[in-house]
Amino acid sequence: MATQRILDFLATRRPNGPCLVVDLDVVRDNFRAFEKALPDSKIYYAVKANPAPEILRLLASMGSSFDTASVAEVEMAMDAGAPADRISFGNTIKKERDILRAYELGIRLFAVDCVEEVEKIARAAPGSRVFCRVLTDGEGAEWPLSRKFGCVPAMAVDVLRHAKALGLDAYGVSFHVGSQQCDLSAWDRALGDAKRVFETLAEEGIVLKMVNMGGGFPTRYLKDVPAAQAYGQAIFAALRKHFGNRIPETIIEPGRGMVGNAGVIKSEVVLISKKADNDNVRWVYLDIGKFGGLAETMDEAIRYPIVTAHDGSETAPCVLAGPTCDSADVLYEKTPYPLPLSLTIGDDVLIEGTGAYTTTYSAVAFNGFEPLRSYVI
Ligand SMILES: *Cc1c(COP(=O)(O)O)cnc(C)c1O
């Protein structure tokens, strides 16, 4: 949603070119909502969603921890004021020298999903805590993170056993139910798998302590999504069901749910045209596209709300495309986007819910277009 602060900023500053404006008040509210929804879980903000220093500083000052995927992200979290013991290196795919560098910076919590990665960590970060990521089916998610990360639960047992044998602290299990997950029962299935890994290892005397329940908390795009409170209740019920009165330490790693609704992209209509005189679908070209930050429109997975000054007047379906010379730079075509017939070249439009996964996805200078500018207010 474009908050009044964002609208005022755009009206007074009138920034030229496409840009993202993020309202920190919304990020603050989101953090508090997560704290309230899951009071016993530690919040590790997924830095990749939006690493703007102002966002990281705000969250660090509110007591957030951080999930990072590279040494550069570890350093960004530290520069924002987070101590090393509030940072995890959550990428399952790491160079050994990056593990070593993170270890030198004080990081002691690492993700793994195979024995090969465990061996790197045992060498480069001896004695650290490791958690093993298990696969989830990603069902119900609009942006699934499926097969690339994690292993089957039976293999997680071997991975954590191996970690323990190499002197690491076999600390727990992690999963990610898929991003923009609107099925509240997704956590229940994954927690059932986690519990089985806990049980099997307990029989061997290896006592795990933590479940990292990942991200997946949604942002409202065109459809309503359940509130943080509903997620909290569903997740807590699932923890009770599987772990009874011995609920382990838990972590959540919201990315999209922390910043998605805090940002709005201002874009300009560059061209409106047709491919034939009798076409009834107009092509609307914006000054931002897949390579300017809207990469999540890939396969039309994420459908952003678009606000124009003509809303309320008659609409007709449009193909929506970006400005670059690549035919892949089409945002919505399979499902055309309804836009007002009175929309004209030169109009500004607001693309809402774009606080997450936009600035970091924008190309450096494809066709000479500069990377997406961002203002955090
Ligand atoms: C990307 C990512 C997240 C954040 O996911 P969202 O769906 O944006 O909340 C959390 N944890 C890990 C390990 C990730 O890779």
Residue 147 has pLDDT above 90, yes or no: no
- 364 with 352, same domain: the answer is yes
Same domain, 158 and 267: no
Assign residue 219 the CATH number of its domain. 3.20.20.10
Structural domain count of the chain: 2
The residue among 208, 227, 259 that closes a domain is 259
Span from the CA of 219 to the centroid of ligand 1 (angstroms): 13
Q: Structure pTM?
A: 0.97
Query: In terms of domains, do 252 and 283 share one?
Result: no
Ligand 1, CB within 6 Å, residue ranges? 46, 48-49, 67, 90, 176, 179, 214-217, 253-257
Query: Which ligand 1 atom is the nearest neighbour of the CA of 179?
Result: 7
Question: If 0-12 CB within 10 Å is exposed, 13-18 middle and 19+ buried, where does residue 84 land?
Answer: middle
Residues 48 and 139 in one domain: yes
Are 349 and 279 members of one domain?
A: yes
Domain boundary among 208, 228, 259: 259
The answer to whether residue 8 is domain-embedded is no
What residue spans of the chain are helical by DSSP H? 4-13, 24-37, 53-61, 71-79, 96-104, 115-124, 153-165, 186-203, 228-243, 256-259
pLDDT tens digits for range 339-357:
999 999 999 999 999 999 9
Same domain assignment for residues 308 and 191: no
> Is residue 1's pLDDT more than 90?
no
* 14: in domain: no
CA of 318 to the centre of ligand 1 (A): 32
Residue 107 lies inside a defined structural domain of this protein: yes
- Regarding whether 306 and 251 lie in a shared domain, the answer is no
- Cα 255 to averaged position of ligand 1 atoms, centre (Å): 6
- Tell whether the model's pLDDT for residue 310 goes beyond 90: yes
Say if 12 falls within a structural domain: no
CATH of the domain at 352: 2.40.37.10
From 19, 132, 151, 325, active-site residue: 325
The answer on 88 and 57 residing in a single domain is yes
Same domain for 289 and 255, yes or no, is no
Is the pLDDT at 146 greater than 80? The verdict is no
> Is 219 found in the same domain as 141?
yes
pLDDT band at 3 (very low <50, low <70, confident <90, very high): very high
- Residue 140: pLDDT band (50, 70, 90) is confident
Query: Which residue has its alpha carbon closest to ligand 1 atom 12?
Result: 214
Tens digits of per-residue pLDDT, 211-254?
A: 999 999 999 999 999 999 999 999 999 999 999 999 999 999 99
Kindly give the distance from the C-alpha atom of residue 15 to the centroid of ligand 1, in angstroms, as a whole number. 31
Q: Say if residue 121 is in the same domain as residue 93.
A: yes
pLDDT number for residue 139: 83
Question: How far does residue 177's CA lie from ligand 1's centre (Å)?
Answer: 9
CB contact set of 78 (below 8 Å; sequence gap of 6+): 84, 87, 105
Q: Is 114 a catalytic residue?
A: no
Does position 145 have pLDDT exceeding 80, yes or no?
A: no
Beta strands 129-133 and 109-112 are parallel
From 59, 113, 145, mutation site for ligand 1 pocket: most ligand atoms within 8 A of C-beta: 145
Strands 249-252 and 41-46: parallel
Q: Would 348 be classed as within a structural domain?
A: yes
Confidence at residue 309, expressed as pLDDT on a 0 to 100 scale: 97
pLDDT value at 98 more than 80: yes
Instruction: Report yes or no on 102 lying in a domain.
Output: yes
Degrees, nearest 5: CA angle 197-172-113:
80
Nearest atom in ligand 1 to 217's CA = 9
Task: Give the pair of three-digit tokens for residue 176.
Answer: 């990610």
Is the backbone of residue 362 left (phi > 0), alpha (psi -120 to 50) or beta?
A: beta
Domain that holds residue 267: 261-376
Statement: residue 306 has pLDDT above 90:
yes
**Other CB atoms within 10 A of residue 265 CB:** 27
Residue 6 lies in a domain: no
Checking if the pLDDT of 197 tops 90, the result is: yes
- The amino acid that residue 187 corresponds to is W
Asked whether residue 112 falls in the same domain as residue 207, the answer is yes
Q: Which of 241, 259, 277 corresponds to the end of one domain?
A: 259
Give the number of other Cβ atoms within 10 Å of residue 233's Cβ: 15
The verdict on residue 1 lying in a domain is: no
